[in-house]
């Protein structure tokens, strides 16, 4: 689906709070991998384990955030940081001289020098100069409500850093009625369903388009932002954008990359 007001792409399927907790507790663990690999045989164990664990990825993401904070003049003002949903806290810039916290429900053990918690009640009344929400908003069911929830942990003059994937493939779709009949038929032919899923995923990520009869499914992401939709979200939630960058690769028919944004409350 596409929002007519801001252009946000999103799935009609929304999970309940219980389903979200089940999905992200033990995230990327053995049970998660086993279940996903059963339906996506191309989703390998090495791919599962490398998410958030590749030293090059960690260094690059730290460096990009540090550059953004320094260029915006915010770096010297940061004396505390909370990485919400930040795994082990490994993406907090290493050179940041601040009290470092990470909130994570998956059970991941925080890095040395990072305070970790899986209980938001333990943060009640505490606010932070920098609040990081990296690759979170594409997973949440109500982005506006979630941003309002995050705001309670932000100091009055604090800054929020949001990072989301930029996934904008061209969708070469058929008539909705024909597409729905095709999907219904595929559900009863699992080997072909998986083959179509594999080809669709490769076409979407490598070529930037979903072909006719392709399958556009949600493994985890339910929201797909671009500059306009992310800016609209911030404005609706009472934030003003300080800086936004789209770091993307132009595929033959679409863009794949990441959006980075710094914002403050109005």
Q: How far apart are the first and last CA of the chain?
A: 30
Cα→Cα distances 90→3, 141, 199, Å: 34, 25, 33
Q: What is the mean pLDDT of residues 70-83?
A: 95
Chain center to CA of 223? 9
- pTM reported for the whole predicted model: 0.89
Tokens 């729905």 label which residue? 180
Structure confidence at residue 253 as a pLDDT band (50, 70, 90): low
Mean per-residue pLDDT, 152-177? 90
- 22-70 residue pLDDT tens: 888 778 888 889 999 998 998 988 888 777 778 888 999 999 999 999 9
Question: In which residue ranges of the chain is CATH 3.40.50.150 found?
Answer: 9-167+222-265
Phi, psi torsion values for 121, nearest 5 degrees: -60, -30
Average pLDDT over residues 135-164: 94
Class of domain 9-167+222-265: alpha beta
**Measured distance CA(166)–CA(224) in Å, rounded:** 7
């Amino acid at each position: 689906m596409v929002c007519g007001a801001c252009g946000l792409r999103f799935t009609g399927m929304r999970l309940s709070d219980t389903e979200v907790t089940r999905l992200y507790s033990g995230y990327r663990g053995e049970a998660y991998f086993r279940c996903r690999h059963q339906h996506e045989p191309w989703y390998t164990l090495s791919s599962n384990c490398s998410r958030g664990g590749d030293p090059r990825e960690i260094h690059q993401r730290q460096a990009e955030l540090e550059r953004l904070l320094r260029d915006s003049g915010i770096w010297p003002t940061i004396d505390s940081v909370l990485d919400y949903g930040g795994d082990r806290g490994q993406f907090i810039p290493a050179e940041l001289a601040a009290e470092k916290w990470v909130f994570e429900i998956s059970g991941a053990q925080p890095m040395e020098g990072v305070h970790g918690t899986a209980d938001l009640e333990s943060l009640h009344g505490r606010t932070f100069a920098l609040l990081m929400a990296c690759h979170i908003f594409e997973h949440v069911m109500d982005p506006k409500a979630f941003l309002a929830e995050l705001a309670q942990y932000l100091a009055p003059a604090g800054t929020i850093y949001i990072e989301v994937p930029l996934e904008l493939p061209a969708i070469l779709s058929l008539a909705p009625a024909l597409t729905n009949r095709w999907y219904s038929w595929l559900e009863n032919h699992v080997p072909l369903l998986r083959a179509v899923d594999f080809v669709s995923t490769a076409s979407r990520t490598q070529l930037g388009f979903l072909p006719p009869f392709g399958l556009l499914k949600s493994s985890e992401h339910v929201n797909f932002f671009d500059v306009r939709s992310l800016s609209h979200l911030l404005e609706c939630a009472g934030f003003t954008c300080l800086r936004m960058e789209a770091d993307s690769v132009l595929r033959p028919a679409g863009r794949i990359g990441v959006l980075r944004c710094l914002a403050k409350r109005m």
